[in-house]
Chains A and B, each alone.
Chain A
């Protein structure tokens, strides 16, 4: 008689139901330490907000300007911002790479505003973002996009093309990130848990920085240390800001498509070139290879923008900030004070007021 026969004979003595109860009960009991550990990890990751779906994060931030989120994967930003836009349905949306991060909602009052920065890098991505947010009938009154010369270099999409299509990481990957932090420095993680009511996402919890309810990314105060901004080689044409003799016809074509889409959706298009740090500006102005920069700065290009109905602001060179490192988080990204100043100028501009009549008026009017 084999071992299986023996066990089978023993089994006959018990009813199937009691056998199942014994099997499931014993299994749960034996693996209870592991199940408990898994449950604790899940609960911890949820408490941190790392495994919370971005749609829930979007709702969690409603009406709570001090709540910040930054999931650790870096691949969920688009999903998160789309969820916030769908949730808020703002009248003004700002769009662009990290350069757009500093725009704050209160600067655009009385209009509702959301900063969708850190989601688009190319003109095509701006267009696709607009398509995504307007597919269900909603459309903002105005779209504020950051516009820079490098977006018109021929191969620019090569560097950023895939970024827009990144999918949020899996639940397991998010759990593992929490587990990794838990094994690296558990005391630090538990100490920070007290902030989890206001801060969601592992990186936000660890670094104190994340997306605020208005979509902006408030950063810590910067310093006047010029060496901090020395490492950037944008002025030398280092990828992705590659130089070209002229602006690419293909990219201009993409821009025309964006303009056409905005018109079709009745969205006012406001394009802003944000300030550049002095080192970058000087390098660009002095570099004979930077033909694309000169064309982008030319009156012809600005006239073309105006003719297309795009309200364009060139803040690339702001004398009050250009050589003051403390106003830049890095050599390309102005800090919130600069962004607030720019927002004020934009909202006071007659061209903008023509499209947004309440621009510049106090909130509530």
Chain B
């Protein structure tokens, strides 16, 4: 049951109405926990036991750490709980890759195990909870129902945002009366999320999947188009999905941190990561980068660079086990470091050329986008060889000849390039991308749907939701959520 499916909406509606029907407190907590476990069992079946194991480990770890407070055992309990909580993630996600690296083969019974949906998300939520207790940022949760609800909370379980215990757990009193305003605020997020996921992401995924799925059959210009489309595909897919999650949580009276903030308007790679999958990048920043930088502060720039590279390496491998993800992390780390240390030189160049500030911002955003898009090829390509094929073709002379042929024949002239679908075939996709960019610029400048005239809002809701319903009805198989594999 994907969050962007009609069946989820029906499931959520039932939970939502029941939630406000039962009295606040324990009854609502039990309802949310039951709904969360049902939802996750529906998604992962047998692998629900992994989720339950992580909950038990986090609970026991937190309680034991508190019991051992002031003794030398506390650190050992913390390390043991941390290792136990991360063990399923290591075993199910990384063991195969690690064995490949050291040249050992896994028994087939282990190698064939699937990756439970949302494993990285709920594991990081549990790890954050344990670290926060160890750092005395929060007290351990003694009510197992509350902790279980935090880690298993159904809107967030499959794709985040990765919540923090200190922010989430205090909201689990669940005593808020029903508020129409809050429900509408949540519904608006769900609506925007559905439009992003079902209308835009699923449309963009068609050419992306076709070209990335058969790179040998695509000419360089097509590969370039897919490389440009994919970040938007991923963004709308993931941002749409998390907006549905956040909106659902809001409707149940739980405030959840945002996960995206117009990332493709970012003027640099470090800024991009402050706007993209924020719950993960902030998690890594708070629990890895900042402690490492503090520890290595005496080493000067080298310490900062090492902490940055290591943080991005973790972000890379969080996304998957394999060399492409290692390289992806290292690429982002290198770009982030290079961005920080070349900033003043680049500023000087723009100043010397008297480039207007707005133009500087646009140029920086475009360059950042292109760099991100090129790195994300490692994320989307089926394997490293395919990714290399993309890079080789995009930076080849054939690419230039493709562009020349297209320009000379006119951008939208049918039959200009017999070897590829004509450029006009992607018109709708380019239009969607323009809508995404324009929408992000409007939101960044404080313009939201709620500030527009009523007739426009009503029109947007009806057209948008009507289109979503139509696509639900006509799509026999919806494209999968891209972040499910994490």
The residues of A with any CB-CB pair to B shorter than 8 Å are: 2-4, 7-8, 10-12, 14, 16, 19-20, 22-23, 26-27, 30-31, 33-34, 37, 172, 175-176
Pick the contact of B462: A3, A4, A16, A33 (CB < 8 A).
Answer: A33
Q: List 17 A-B contacts (CB under 8 A).
A: A2-B255, A4-B185, A8-B176, A8-B177, A8-B182, A11-B182, A14-B180, A22-B180, A23-B180, A23-B183, A31-B461, A33-B458, A33-B462, A34-B469, A172-B473, A176-B473, A176-B474
**Interface-central residue, B180, B253, B473, by most chain A CB under 10 Å:** B180
In the assembled complex, B179 has its CB within 8 A of some CB on chain A: yes
Interchain CB contact under 8 A, B461 and A30: yes
Which chain A positions have C-beta within 8 A of B474? Answer: 176
Interchain CB contact under 8 A, B179 and A7: yes
Pick the contact of A8: B187, B253, B461 (CB < 8 A).
Answer: B253
Which chain B positions have C-beta within 8 A of A16? Answer: 20, 177-178
- The count of chain B contact residues (Cβ–Cβ below 8 Å) is 24
Interchain CB contact under 8 A, A11 and B177: yes
Interchain CB contact under 8 A, B180 and A26: yes
Q: Mark B216-258, 1 if CB is under 8 A from A, else 0.
A: 0000000000000000000000000000000000100101000
Assembled-state Cα–Cα distance A20/B185 (Å)? 14
Interchain CB contact under 8 A, B178 and A19: yes
Interchain CB contact under 8 A, B465 and A10: no
Q: Which residue of A lies closest to B171 (CB)?
A: A4
Distance to closest chain B CB from A36 (angstroms): 10
Assembled-state Cα–Cα distance A27/B191 (Å)? 13
**Interface-central residue, B253, B255, B462, B466, by most chain A CB under 10 Å:** B462
Assembled-state Cα–Cα distance A2/B458 (Å)? 27
Distance to closest chain A CB from B162 (angstroms): 19
Distance to closest chain B CB from A10 (angstroms): 6
Do A34 and B462 form a contact, CB below 8 Å, given A4-B182, A7-B185, A11-B181? Answer: yes
Which chain B positions have C-beta within 8 A of A175? Answer: 473
Which chain B positions have C-beta within 8 A of A27? Answer: 187
Which chain A positions have C-beta within 8 A of B177? Answer: 8, 11-12, 16, 19
Assembled-state Cα–Cα distance A31/B178 (Å)? 21
Distance to closest chain B CB from A20 (angstroms): 6
Interchain CB contact under 8 A, B466 and A37: yes
Among B432-466, those with CB < 8 Å from A are 457-458, 461-462, 465-466
Distance to closest chain A CB from B1 (angstroms): 18
Pick the contact of B466: A2, A4, A8, A34 (CB < 8 A).
Answer: A34
Which chain A positions have C-beta within 8 A of B176? Answer: 8, 11
Assembled-state Cα–Cα distance A176/B476 (Å)? 13
Pick the contact of A19: B180, B187, B253, B462 (CB < 8 A).
Answer: B180
Which chain B positions have C-beta within 8 A of A37? Answer: 466
Distance to closest chain B CB from A29 (angstroms): 9
Which chain A positions have C-beta within 8 A of B412? Answer: none
Assembled-state Cα–Cα distance A14/B177 (Å)? 10
Which chain B positions have C-beta within 8 A of A172? Answer: 473
Which chain A positions have C-beta within 8 A of B465? Answer: 31, 34
In the assembled complex, B76 has its CB within 8 A of some CB on chain A: no
In the assembled complex, B184 has its CB within 8 A of some CB on chain A: yes
Interchain CB contact under 8 A, B462 and A23: no
Do A26 and B184 form a contact, CB below 8 Å, given A175-B473, A176-B473? Answer: yes
Interchain CB contact under 8 A, A4 and B461: no
Interchain CB contact under 8 A, B181 and A7: yes
Do A8 and B179 form a contact, CB below 8 Å, given A3-B185, A26-B184? Answer: yes
Q: Which residue of B lies closest to A5 (CB)?
A: B255
Q: Which residue of B lies closest to A20 (CB)?
A: B178
Assembled-state Cα–Cα distance A31/B469 (Å)? 13
Assembled-state Cα–Cα distance A258/B469 (Å)? 47
Interchain CB contact under 8 A, B185 and A31: no
Assembled-state Cα–Cα distance A175/B470 (Å)? 11
Q: Mostly helix, strand, loop or mixed at chain A's interface?
A: helix
Which chain A positions have C-beta within 8 A of B458? Answer: 30, 33
Q: Which residue of A lies closest to B250 (CB)?
A: A4
Do A31 and B473 form a contact, CB below 8 Å, given A11-B177, A11-B180? Answer: no
Q: Which residue of B lies closest to A18 (CB)?
A: B180
Assembled-state Cα–Cα distance A128/B20 (Å)? 52
Pick the contact of B179: A2, A10, A30, A34 (CB < 8 A).
Answer: A10
Assembled-state Cα–Cα distance A10/B178 (Å)? 11
Which chain B positions have C-beta within 8 A of A3? Answer: 185, 255
Pick the contact of A4: B187, B255, B457, B473 (CB < 8 A).
Answer: B255
Q: Which residue of A lies closest to B181 (CB)?
A: A7
- Other than the known A8-B179, A11-B181, what 11 A-B pairs have Cβ atoms closer than 8 Å? A3-B185, A4-B250, A7-B179, A7-B181, A8-B176, A8-B177, A11-B178, A16-B20, A23-B184, A27-B187, A34-B469
Assembled-state Cα–Cα distance A37/B171 (Å)? 40
Which chain B positions have C-beta within 8 A of A30? Answer: 457-458, 461-462
Interchain CB contact under 8 A, A4 and B253: yes
Which chain B positions have C-beta within 8 A of A14? Answer: 179-180
Which chain A positions have C-beta within 8 A of B184? Answer: 23, 26
Which chain A positions have C-beta within 8 A of B250? Answer: 4
**Interface-central residue, A8, A22, A27, A175, by most chain B CB under 10 Å:** A8
Assembled-state Cα–Cα distance A49/B17 (Å)? 35
Distance to closest chain B CB from A68 (angstroms): 28
Distance to closest chain B CB from A225 (angstroms): 39
Assembled-state Cα–Cα distance A172/B471 (Å)? 12
Assembled-state Cα–Cα distance A309/B127 (Å)? 80
Q: Which residue of B lies closest to A179 (CB)?
A: B470
Which chain A positions have C-beta within 8 A of B469? Answer: 34
Assembled-state Cα–Cα distance A16/B178 (Å)? 6
Q: Mark B178-201, 1 if CB is under 8 A from A, else 0.
A: 111111110100000000000000
Q: Which residue of B lies closest to A12 (CB)?
A: B177
Which chain B positions have C-beta within 8 A of A34? Answer: 461-462, 465-466, 469
**Interface-central residue, A7, A10, A33, by most chain B CB under 10 Å:** A7
Which chain B positions have C-beta within 8 A of A11? Answer: 176-182
Distance to closest chain B CB from A177 (angstroms): 11
Which chain B positions have C-beta within 8 A of A7? Answer: 179, 181-182, 185
Which chain A positions have C-beta within 8 A of B185? Answer: 3-4, 7
Q: Which residue of A lies closest to B464 (CB)?
A: A34
Assembled-state Cα–Cα distance A152/B193 (Å)? 57
Assembled-state Cα–Cα distance A175/B180 (Å)? 33
Assembled-state Cα–Cα distance A30/B191 (Å)? 13
Distance to closest chain A CB from B30 (angstroms): 20
CB-CB nearest 5 A-B residue pairs: A11-B179, A23-B180, A7-B181, A4-B255, A22-B180
Which chain A positions have C-beta within 8 A of B180? Answer: 11, 14, 19-20, 22-23, 26
Which chain B positions have C-beta within 8 A of A8? Answer: 176-177, 179, 182, 253
Which chain B positions have C-beta within 8 A of A12? Answer: 177
Which chain A positions have C-beta within 8 A of B183? Answer: 23
Which chain A positions have C-beta within 8 A of B20? Answer: 16, 20
Q: Mark B147-180, 1 if CB is under 8 A from A, else 0.
A: 0000000000000000000000000000011111
Distance to closest chain B CB from A172 (angstroms): 5
Assembled-state Cα–Cα distance A20/B182 (Å)? 12
Distance to closest chain B CB from A268 (angstroms): 45
Which chain A positions have C-beta within 8 A of B473? Answer: 172, 175-176
Among B301-350, those with CB < 8 Å from A are none
Distance to closest chain B CB from A260 (angstroms): 41
Q: Which residue of A lies closest to B17 (CB)?
A: A20
Q: Which residue of B lies closest to A34 (CB)?
A: B462
Assembled-state Cα–Cα distance A33/B461 (Å)? 10
Assembled-state Cα–Cα distance A160/B183 (Å)? 53
Which chain B positions have C-beta within 8 A of A22? Answer: 180
Assembled-state Cα–Cα distance A20/B177 (Å)? 11
Assembled-state Cα–Cα distance A126/B414 (Å)? 53
